[in-house]
Chains A and B, each alone.
Chain A
Amino acid sequence: MIISYLKTALRGLTKNKFYSFLNIIGLTVGLAAFILILIYVRTEASYDQYHEKHDRIHRLESNFTISGKNDQFGIVPIPMAPTLKTEFPEIESFVRFSDAGNQLLRYENKESYEKDFFFADSTIFAVFSHPMILGNPKTALVEPNTVVLTESKAKKYFEDENPLGKILLDAENNQFKVTGVIEDLPANSHLKFDGLFSATTLAARMGEERFNTTEPVSFWNIGVYAYVLLKENTSIDAIHNKFPSFYDKYMKSIGDQINSSFTLMSTPLADTHFEGNYSADEPKGNKMYLYIFSAVGLFILIIAAINYMNMATARSVKRAKEVGIRKVAGAHRKQLINQFLSESVILTAVGLVIAFLVVYLLFPSFQTLIGKELEYSALFNIGLWLEVIGTALIIGLMAGSYPAFYLSSFNPSKVLKGTMSGKAGGSGRLRKLLVVIQFWIAIMMIIGTLVISNQLSFLRNKDLGFQKENMIVMELQDSTFRSRGETFKKELLSHPNIVNATTATGVPGQTGWIQVVRMEKETEMIDDAMIICIPDYDYLETYDIDVVKGRFFRKDMGTDATEAVVVNETTVKQYGWEEPIGKKIHWGFNPQGEGGRVLKVIGVIEDYHYNSLHNKVQPLMMFIHDDISKGLITVKTNGRNNASTLSFIEEKWHEMGAKRPFEYQFLDQSLDEMYETEQKTGVIFHIATVITVLIALIGLLGLSSFIAEQKTKEIGIRKVVGASVPNILVLLYKEFAMLILIGFALAAPLTWWGLDNWLQNNFVYAIDISWPAFAIAGIASVVIGLLSISYHTVRAANGNMVDAVKWE
């Protein structure tokens, strides 16, 4: 029986090449997109779950309230985790990760920068599951100056040599002995690293005592990621419940002095990728995007399935006779249902096989697209395939169900007499509804794509209040180089293409630090956290930032070097200063509130966007401080011949005795990178939209061919009684245009609401959603839709009416 089904199914496929082709293309594209999106979603949703003990691991986070201002951090004070362990028996173990910054590592003649290295406690391999290829996980990070590398980093430095026992040097010629090699971290790790130095290295450098101190003041400096492993059958709540007494014991004395408090927060390891919005944290996943993409994947699949249903029922006109004959020959309805269902399942299976090939070929580009390195093994994951095959089966059955139940219900006597043909093909209303749904989805995605790209170009082109073009930013890495910053700057200015230069502690995109200062408010001084940037005298001019009131620092004003401060407009607003000039800010005081500098405001600068447009501009202050080393130098060029300017800078860089390779960034590029997530999302959304629209159009193409066929008689009659070809075209187009417009009417409000939410929740500075995006989407979908049906429609309208009306 099955053989017979297979035979008819395959013959059916080859006989109706046009329909089969459209169906398989639609299904293939739909399934391929679905599989890729599923891989993405599975990766996102499975973060850190590969750690065997992940359900017992919690990451610790800090919640500081300093003078009423609340700040939450993904990192905690250095002594927090070990002290918690000594106090609370629920904790079995802990690991701390301290960012090693940008390390220049060297082995023989191979050297390169490593950005993703951490100092970690030796307990890491007992807490996390990082399979060790070489070395002993128990002892690997116990000794100071040891390092564990990932497999790919080990290969990079040592190639085929055995890395164990080899020595890596850093920029200061510190030696690190390789004591282990672990597997590369999977893409779904929220804390990614390429290598780990032993935390005891830090202890050795700082002194054991200082590193392990539990002095109250050490709890008021944050610095490390920390994870605790709980014992079986214990709960993290117990620790949170007992934390107040811990606070009283270790932290309260300082907290009371500085009018501040602290609470401990934590997140289960597997949720760390998504939960919380903390300062000083690894990049987070966005659940909203996860939902959006899951929805998009489903949409694409639904549209492809709708295509199948539509085309299959449409084809039923031609198959009515087959059903009649099979019934007369003794087929039961159940057998016919089985036959049609197996046909659609077979078709889906064919689509699935091709889709897999497509996915396999696209896998590398897909990884670039989502910015994650996945392994090919992700493709052969059993769970993934159970889900994919399950979904394909459901889609196949769903897509086949309507034709199956509908076709099998045909009355053989009517079918064979031919009186069916006019009405066969199923209820036109259902088919219309399906087309409406397809366009509803497609139009939502078109509008979404347009608004997202509008927002992105708004972000790229918004006037940020400073010059970002032709600005080269360099980091002065080592302290000796930094001390020569001013000389370096002067040397650079001798080049004709270099217009200006400035050294500072911060540049837009990486602005200085946050510190508690005392601000004058009405008659008293209040403590508040401020963003601080220490510039030199040329900062304002180089960056082209406007002064709103007063002036910027001048070298010839002697007191500017010690007593003056410049604030931004937001500061003025926040403290309600009617006359900002002369207002006092006390900076750098000790816990007793003494020392530091009392600065007077000499100028107010425009609220330039020193940070990404995700964040609102906050109060910012700048003052001159010669003793604070300025690690960033910005060079403004005239934009001519950048290559030669850069090689001149590089030459000077080495002349100044910089210990590290020349590195620079163009400011506009590094600012663009702040919107990488949105840009990637935009691109993915764009592609998904093209795919959706494409599949919807394939469906429309197939459907138009059917409708043209079904309407042959009506068109013929109309022409006989006087309709012209344009009359007929209008008639056919109107019908489709109506469906598309209904889809549009359904899509527009929903999309408006969704996008408005997205913009409000993700950006402080966002475009207003405007009607042109909607108009474009509406008009485009009608035009594209009508174009796609044109071939069949025009052919039908020009068809020979003599055949259509048949005299006898």
Chain B
Amino acid sequence: MIQTNKLTKVFRTDEVETTALNEVSFGVDEGEFVAVMGPSGCGKSTLLNLLGLLDNPTTGEYYFMEEKVSNLREKQRAKKRKSNIGFVFQNFNLIDELTVFENVELPLIYLGIKGSERKKRVDDVLEQMGMLHRRKHYPLQLSGGQQQRTAVARAIVARPKLILADEPTGNLDSAHGEEVMNLLDQLNQNGTTIVMVTHSPSDAEYARRTINLFDGQIVTENIKQAL
């Protein structure tokens, strides 16, 4: 599903040049659950941006679903992104002015799916997340866990092949965190590929494989033994 070859990202300002990601090569198979760990500033977010097709690498190659995508323009990236990738953020990134239902509906609108179909799919996924009774609420009326469940609902509503999650439990208490991790695990059981950045070793436990990043480079990879 994912294959990178010497993926490098350099940020330049007028005075400073920072290498956020240094020749990172790794792969993720379809159906895998991979955790990326490492200290702050090690390049985790940059990696997620590249994998999520939000940004292009400075050098190196990125193959997504057997297709080279490292040189695509934003328009083409957007097209790939919206039908194949779902995002879950640490700070949820819900739109405050929209209801739970409307937030979840967004990806389907941009995919051009018809209203009746959208309603059905949003309701389905909200039910799956246990959020159906909150569909008319606004994000600020919800608890953190509910917000993150809404965000997960939004991430999966378009039935993406890949979910990228960034510290999905970072802003949640442990009970809510566990709830969200169980959700992701369940999605993975059902065949969705997940790449998750995390600080939390217990969250990483859910993953089958853990990649450790340090100063923009992969330092170790642990594969969890099948149970």
A807 touches B96 (CB 8 A): no
- Interfacial chain A residues near B95, Cβ < 8 Å: 714, 717-718
- Interfacial chain A residues near B93, Cβ < 8 Å: 713, 716-717, 720, 805
Give residues of chain B (7-42) contacting chain A, Cβ–Cβ below 8 Å: 40
Interchain CA distance A721-B54 in the complex, whole Å: 10
Number of interface residues of A (CB under 8 A): 21
A706 vs chain B, min Cβ distance (A): 16
- A714, A718, A723, A802: the one within 8 Å of B55 (CB): A802
Closest A residue, CB atoms, query B86: A721
- Interfacial chain A residues near B89, Cβ < 8 Å: 805, 807
Q: Is B166 an interface residue (CB 8 A)?
A: yes
A721 touches B197 (CB 8 A): no
B93 vs chain A, min Cβ distance (A): 5
- B45, B48, B78: the one within 8 Å of A719 (CB): B78
- Interfacial chain B residues near A496, Cβ < 8 Å: none
A724 touches B97 (CB 8 A): no
B90 touches A721 (CB 8 A): no
Segment among B104-112, B174-182, B183-191, B211-219 that sits at the interface with chain A: B104-112
Interchain CA distance A51-B176 in the complex, whole Å: 86
Q: Is B114 an interface residue (CB 8 A)?
A: no
- Interfacial chain A residues near B49, Cβ < 8 Å: 802, 807
Q: Is A422 an interface residue (CB 8 A)?
A: yes
Q: Is A755 an interface residue (CB 8 A)?
A: no
B110 touches A721 (CB 8 A): yes
B78 touches A721 (CB 8 A): no
B110 touches A724 (CB 8 A): yes
When A717-B95, A722-B158, A802-B49 are in contact, do A807 and B81 touch as well, CB less than 8 Å? no
- Interfacial chain B residues near A716, Cβ < 8 Å: 93
Q: Is B62 an interface residue (CB 8 A)?
A: no
- Interfacial chain B residues near A742, Cβ < 8 Å: none
B54 touches A724 (CB 8 A): no
B102 vs chain A, min Cβ distance (A): 11
Interchain CA distance A713-B96 in the complex, whole Å: 10
- A714, A723, A806: the one within 8 Å of B97 (CB): A714
A776 vs chain B, min Cβ distance (A): 34
A422 touches B96 (CB 8 A): yes
- A422, A722, A800, A806: the one within 8 Å of B110 (CB): A722
A724 touches B75 (CB 8 A): yes
- B40, B45, B82, B170: the one within 8 Å of A722 (CB): B82
- Interfacial chain B residues near A807, Cβ < 8 Å: 44-45, 48-49, 89-90, 166-167, 197
When A807-B89, A808-B90 are in contact, do A801 and B166 touch as well, CB less than 8 Å? no
B197 touches A727 (CB 8 A): no
Q: Is B91 an interface residue (CB 8 A)?
A: yes
B54 touches A801 (CB 8 A): yes
**Closest A-B pairs by Cβ, 10 of them:** A722-B82, A722-B110, A807-B45, A807-B166, A721-B107, A717-B93, A723-B110, A721-B106, A722-B107, A714-B95
With A721-B107, A724-B110, A805-B93 already in contact, 13 other A-B pairs whose C-beta atoms are closer than 8 Å: A714-B95, A714-B97, A718-B95, A718-B106, A719-B78, A720-B54, A722-B107, A722-B158, A727-B110, A806-B91, A807-B44, A807-B167, A808-B45
Please report A residues at the B interface, Cβ cutoff 8 Å: 422, 713-714, 716-725, 727, 800-802, 805-808
Please report B residues at the A interface, Cβ cutoff 8 Å: 40, 44-45, 48-49, 52, 54-55, 75, 78, 81-83, 87, 89-91, 93-97, 106-107, 110-111, 154, 158, 166-167, 170, 197
Q: Would you mind naming 11 contact pairs between A and B with Cβ atoms under 8 Å apart?
A: A713-B93, A718-B106, A718-B110, A720-B52, A722-B81, A723-B106, A723-B110, A725-B75, A806-B91, A808-B90, A808-B166
